[in-house]
Amino acid sequence: MCTSLAVRLDTNGKIPIKRFRFIPFSKRQIVEMCLQDGLQPGQKKPFQHLSFMLGSIFHFEFHRIIESMKEAYESVDPDSDTRQVQPATIDTPHSGEDFVELLTKLLEKANYERVTESDLNQALTASSLFKIRLHVDFNDFSEVLLFCRGESTKEETIRSGFGLIKKNIQFTNYERVVVYLRLKDAEDQPEGSNSSIEEVASSKPGATLLKLFRNVPKADLEMLFPNTRVRMRTIDKLFIGIPAIVSGGIVLTTKLGASLVLVGSLLGFWLGFSSQPVELNKTALMALLAGVGALGGYLWKQFNSFKNRKLQFMQTLTQNLYFKNLDNNAGVFHRLANDAEEEECKEAILAYYLLLSGKEWLTRTELDHKIEDWLLKGWNCEVDFDIDDALGKLLELNLLEKKGDQLAAIPLEDAINNLDRHWDDYFLPIAKS
């Protein structure tokens, strides 16, 4: 399946617009859109039945994919509570395939796009929308992969200056982001790595983490990693440092003056710079203790200011992640399989419908343009339709006729009979055994 993005110019021919394969309608909505469009009254119920049978076939196919992924993931699942039995004696359709390979195929079927290394580096160097500075240590991981779906440009109002200054900013937003992280073994973890990372790695060598998030600004991709550390920006350091210097000068001149004079006299006498002995009476000692107490209180206040500022940043990060997280680990590929099943089914239904309703033979390219124009003109939806994937499924299910490079949909009744035979064939090996 092709993972490249299509680029189309706007009406002025200047601004490039990215088009993604994801179809932003549910399977039920796609069927309803087809029913409303141009089917004859006698075709509507058979078409609904054909769509139901297609959904059942894809559901069965993806059930087998999920079983294969569960098998491939169980040895590296940090949440697993089952025992391992070796050697494995049960063969599945994808036995022996690497989990990353299975995951990548599933993400392609769900119409996700790979976040390239350049995109990730750009995100790591860009300014955060949440006005915090984040750092990720990639040495904790042996493999890092990110995938996104539904890229769009959004605009938000950012407040600063105690809420008095408003600024509208535009940013790139990902509707869905999948994060794949394979941790290093515990003995390979660098010193000072995140404690939660060490805990997972020590309990499950080479553990693999999966995370699914929604509505993630491209500039804040680093907040999705489990070892993200919050660091002070220059403006935050100045916000704390300048008042600290000013208040420190006040403390030195008002509360530490007498103590500093006394300490200086003592040091001068002990180092031989002065022959005048210093008398440590009760008054002098009280002044010295008062100065030390004032200094300690001042330092403690500044330390608390720093910690409170950092806690505010951590709270901001935690709250955003709480509302953006959709699923974790094994739950991620179960959810992705459902998304992929929907996408495969929607593509097949649309391709079959546009051939059936047109009652004409079309080439692959003509059908691709026809589907994209139908979605754009009828439903204001800009999509780079995955025509190769859709035609591959329909040809495999014997729902199309082909003459050279020309294609046509077989009649609904014949299509339903072919799907019925295909469903029965799933269980022939079991019946023969």
Tell me if 221 sits within 8 A of 123, measured CB to CB.
yes
Per-residue pLDDT tens digits for 4-40: 334 444 444 433 456 778 899 999 999 999 999 878 8
Tell me if 258 sits within 8 A of 291, measured CB to CB.
yes
Task: Quote the CA–CA distance of 3 and 181 in Å, as a whole number.
Answer: 21
- pLDDT for position 332: 94
- Token representation of residue 172: 């790139």
Is the pTM higher than 0.75? The answer reads no
- pLDDT for position 344: 94
Task: Quote the CA–CA distance of 398 and 425 in Å, as a whole number.
Answer: 13
As a whole number of Å, the CA-based R_g of the chain is 32
- pLDDT for position 188: 60
**Stretch 243-261: mean pLDDT, rounded?**
57
Give the highest mean pLDDT range of 215-219, 259-263, 306-310: 215-219
- pLDDT for position 1: 35
- pLDDT at 315 exceeding the cut of 70: no
Q: Which has more pLDDT, 123 or 249?
A: 123
- pLDDT at 349 exceeding the cut of 50: yes
Q: Tell me the pLDDT band of 358, cut-offs 50, 70 and 90.
A: confident
CA dihedral 53, 57, 60, 61 (to 10 degrees): -160
Write down the residue that tokens 């799933």 correspond to.
Answer: 426
**Stretch 352-360: mean pLDDT, rounded?**
91
Per-residue pLDDT tens digits for 89-146: 555 555 446 899 999 999 999 999 888 888 888 777 766 655 566 777 888 888 899 9
Q: Which has more pLDDT, 222 or 417?
A: 417
Contacts for 404-409: CB closer than 8 Å, 24+ residues apart: 405/363, 405/364, 406/361, 406/362, 406/363, 407/355, 407/361, 407/362, 407/363, 407/364, 407/367, 408/355, 408/360, 408/361, 408/362, 409/352, 409/355, 409/356
- pLDDT at 234 exceeding the cut of 70: no
- pLDDT for position 137: 80
Q: Tell me the pLDDT band of 400, cut-offs 50, 70 and 90.
A: very high
**Mean pLDDT, the chain, integer:** 77
- pLDDT at 270 exceeding the cut of 70: no
Per-residue pLDDT tens digits for 213-230: 998 888 888 888 887 776
**Stretch 421-426: mean pLDDT, rounded?**
90
**Stretch 412-429: mean pLDDT, rounded?**
90
- Token representation of residue 156: 């938000």
- Token representation of residue 68: 């294969």
**DSSP strands (E only) in 121-193:** 133-135, 141-160, 165-183
- pLDDT for position 5: 39
Q: Tell me the pLDDT band of 52, cut-offs 50, 70 and 90.
A: very high
Write down the residue that tokens 């087998």 correspond to.
Answer: 64
Tell me if 211 sits within 8 A of 331, measured CB to CB.
no
Q: Is 84 exposed, middle or buried (0-12, 13-18, 19+ CB in 10 A)?
A: exposed
State which H helix or E strand residue 364 sits in.
Answer: helix 364-379
State which H helix or E strand residue 318 sits in.
Answer: helix 282-324
* Bridge partners of residue 183, in order along the sequence: 141
- The CA–CA distances, whole Å, from 140 to 31, 187, 200, 227, 364 equal 46, 11, 11, 8, 46
Tell me if 209 sits within 8 A of 242, measured CB to CB.
no
- pLDDT for position 430: 53
Share of the chain above pLDDT 90, in %: 36
Q: Which has more pLDDT, 164 or 417?
A: 417
Task: Quote the CA–CA distance of 334 and 5 in Å, as a whole number.
Answer: 26
- pLDDT for position 112: 92
Through-space distance between the first and last CA atoms of the chain, rounded to whole angstroms: 35
Task: Quote the CA–CA distance of 70 and 334 in Å, as a whole number.
Answer: 9
Helices (H), 88-186: 99-109, 117-125
- pLDDT at 310 exceeding the cut of 70: no
Tell me if 74 sits within 8 A of 86, measured CB to CB.
no
**Stretch 71-93: mean pLDDT, rounded?**
73
Task: Quote the CA–CA distance of 341 and 344 in Å, as a whole number.
Answer: 5
